Amino acid sequence: MVQRSSNAEVMSMDLSPKMPAKAYGGEGGAYYDWSPADLPMLGAASIGAAKLHLNAGGLSLPSYSDCAKVAYVLQGAGACGLVLPEAAKEKVIPIKTGDTLALPFGAVTWWHNAQGSDAELVVLFLGDTSKGHVNGKFTNFQLTGANGIFTGFSTEFVARAWDLDQDSAAKIVSTQPGSGIVKIAAGHKMPEPRAEDRKGMVLNCLEAPLDVDIPGGGRVVVLNTANLPLVKEVGLGADLVRIDGHSMCSPGFSCDSAYQVTYIVRGSGRVQVVGIDGTRVLETRVEGGCLFIVPRFFVVSKIADDTGLEWFSIITTPNPIFSHLAGKTSVWKAISPAVLETAFNTTPEMEKMFRSKRLDSEIFFAPN
């Protein structure tokens, strides 16, 4: 059972956004991850975060993880091979920018960027590490390669498991010198992705119906059990948010004890987070490529620079619920005027002026 951090510990943590560090890689690409040593909230929230970059012809070898994950394609196009637990056949899923996949426990995956691709394939992984080996970090188990599972077994065990003679068993286990990520040999033909394998497995956040669309303000697509059923098995919700230049995202908080894990896809802007006793625990600038985490019930707000701001978040519940403190859906609009007057220690006239604002704005506020 994972122990929650105390209020004092969370309030004293460094919440500033961080970039990932390279874990391994080679000619085919590289794998980067965020460490709870650099971003302590990963451990507090029991969340892992990593990115896969594949060059043209790059292949991330078949592996499984100790965590359930959500994968989001940040850039490029390619294929994801997916074998779900107890499945008799793999799915070879064509993937492209904006695709989201839910990867439950026990899923074996490989990722491939086509040999002739003119763009890097970049995939973000966010997931729940509460049942993993290292709290706040993914542990991946490679099936093949220099550090593959079967390199640890004796030749006798491998031969018995695969019904091979011992010389063949030794050869097949040791022939691949690469580790984790390799480059496909010229002329080697990979399986063709099948469009039908996307059904029920992928939601493209750039093409899905918008859950929120504020002209001049911003747009949201929410990933939940309704539009991607596997989210229930993963236990995480997600959303893609895009706000326009100088727009503001209303101050709000997750009201179901969930953490918000946010990766900035592109653009830049300012972020403020307020925690216990009205203490501002974070005031910073964010830009594409960085990751930060908002503690449970803390209130966060963002304002985009002139380029706008786009972020992909997971929320540690499959169907998240948020409460906002500004806009027409603000909790203030529902509270009685007499209570507000006393709560703010203000006049009826000031309360009326306060209540009259943002009557037609929801969670995004376009610049005046």
pLDDT of residue 315: 84
Contacts of 222 (CB under 8 A, 6+ apart): 211, 237, 238, 239, 320
CB 327 within 8 A of CB 365: yes
257 is written with which tokens?
């004890």
- Please say whether the beta carbons of 128 and 70 come within 8 A: no
Structure tokens at 182: 């390799």
List of the chain residues with pLDDT < 50: 1-2
Return d(Cα 308, Cα 269) in angstroms, integer.
8
The predicted pLDDT at position 136 comes to 96
pLDDT score at 1:
44
pLDDT at 84 (0 to 100): 94
What confidence score (pLDDT) does residue 355 get? 59
Helix axes 348-356 and 337-344, enclosed angle (nearest 10): 110
Kindly report the number of other CB atoms within 10 A of residue 139's CB atom.
13
pTM for this structure?
Answer: 0.90
